[in-house]
Amino acid sequence: MADKLGIVAGGGELPRLLVEACRRRGREVFVLALEGAADPQALAGVPHAWCRIGAAATALSLLRRNEVTEIVLAGTVRRPSLAALRPDWRAARLFARIGFAALGDNGLLSAVVGELEGEGFRVVGAQELLEAAEMPQGPLGALLPDQEAEADIARGLSLARALGALDIGQAVVVQQGLLLGVEAIEGTDALLRRCGALKREGPGGVLVKVEKPGQEARADRPTIGPRTVLLAAEAGLRGIAVEAGRTLVLSREEVRKTADRAGLFVVGIPSPGSGRRRPSCPRATSRRGGPRSGGEGSK
């Protein structure tokens, strides 16, 4: 029998999808729900307990009391200030050692993963637990970027990787070569809402989201889902480009259908050093001014 899984749950769809995956497999699960982040609806009928983010000693005690051996960190958490965090003695000891204020999100999460492993837990990535969760290479739906969108993707990749190297964010929005916005502490959803008011006339922009250099693969993986597509459409974008094999796609079939209905492309691009070229596909104009492939694309 598989070890009991502990889901440290923030916001968004991912904790719910992990709970559903465990139910399908008959795997025991306990959810440690983070106050102010986790969705109560995702906890219905699941053994769980609430814990504030700064209460590390309580969190460890709850995980041990519920006989958890494997842990997955799942969902979005807005990083509070140190004063708002109110760390207990266990969290304060960690922050004093790593320098809380000096670390970006990836640095902090890497330290948390190391701390959990030091306490004897095995930390796993969400991609190890979800079927077909990672973005494939190529189009996810029926649409493909045209040459102008390809140029925006290339510029967005350069900017997003520079941003990630500073451990600031994972995503940027580029329109006609112009940088409309970068992801910082607010997250991708807020970035898309902000960029809707900044869009220019003409073909819409592109959301480009990539893994940070040295990203801790078991935490804070680049993630998109149906809500990402809806917000991109509301912002007037015409597409989303993410790294194939390094980005989680939540409810992939729903993402594909939502993108096709909205007239957006969603495409997986090769990671640096993958040695693979993006496949060429026939193109025709879509209703948003971008090209349409001859078939439905990968699902």
Residue 202: CB atoms within 10 Å: 10
Residue 112 has pLDDT above 60, yes or no: yes
Cβ(239)–Cβ(248) below 8 Å: no
Q: d(Cα 14, Cα 251) in Å, to the nearest integer?
A: 9
Q: What pLDDT score was predicted for residue 299?
A: 31
Residues β-bridged to residue 269: 243
Same domain, 158 and 276: yes
Q: What is the pLDDT of residues 41-59, one digit of tens each?
A: 888 889 999 999 889 999 9
Cβ(288)–Cβ(295) below 8 Å: no
Write out the residue range of the structural domain in which residue 168 sits: 138-292
Q: What pLDDT score was predicted for residue 104?
A: 66
Mean predicted confidence (pLDDT) in 197-217? 88
At 283, is the pLDDT very low, low, confident or very high (cuts 50, 70, 90)? Answer: very low
Is residue 92 situated within a structural domain?
Answer: yes
Same domain, 119 and 200: no
At 204, is the pLDDT very low, low, confident or very high (cuts 50, 70, 90)? Answer: very high
The secondary structure of residue 36, as a DSSP letter, is: T
Same domain, 144 and 122: no
Q: What pLDDT score was predicted for residue 264?
A: 96
Please tell me the least confidently modeled range out of 22-31, 53-62, 65-74, 129-138.
129-138
Among the three residues 76, 103, 128, which one is the final residue of a domain in this structure? 128
Same domain, 156 and 118: no
Same domain, 191 and 284: yes
Q: What pLDDT score was predicted for residue 111?
A: 82
Give the pair of three-digit tokens for residue 9: 């749950």
Residue 287 has pLDDT above 50, yes or no: no
Q: Which of 168, 192, 219, 227 is nearest to 12 (CA)?
A: 227
- Is the whole model's pTM more than 0.85, yes or no? no
Q: Which residue has the higher pLDDT, 159 or 214?
A: 159
Q: What pLDDT score was predicted for residue 101?
A: 55
Same domain, 60 and 153: no
Residue 284 has pLDDT above 70, yes or no: no
- CATH number of the domain encompassing residue 88: 3.40.50.20
Please tell me the least confidently modeled range out of 93-107, 181-195, 212-226.
93-107
The secondary structure of residue 28, as a DSSP letter, is: -
Secondary element (H or E) of residue 296: none
b or e along 235-246 (b: 16 or more beta carbons within 10 Å of the residue's beta carbon)? bbbbbbbbbbbb
Give the pair of three-digit tokens for residue 73: 């960190």
Give the pair of three-digit tokens for residue 184: 């910082």
Q: What pLDDT score was predicted for residue 134?
A: 87
Cβ(43)–Cβ(33) below 8 Å: yes
Same domain, 124 and 262: no
Q: What is the pLDDT of residues 141-153, one digit of tens each?
A: 999 999 999 999 9
Domain count, the chain: 2
Cβ(98)–Cβ(105) below 8 Å: no
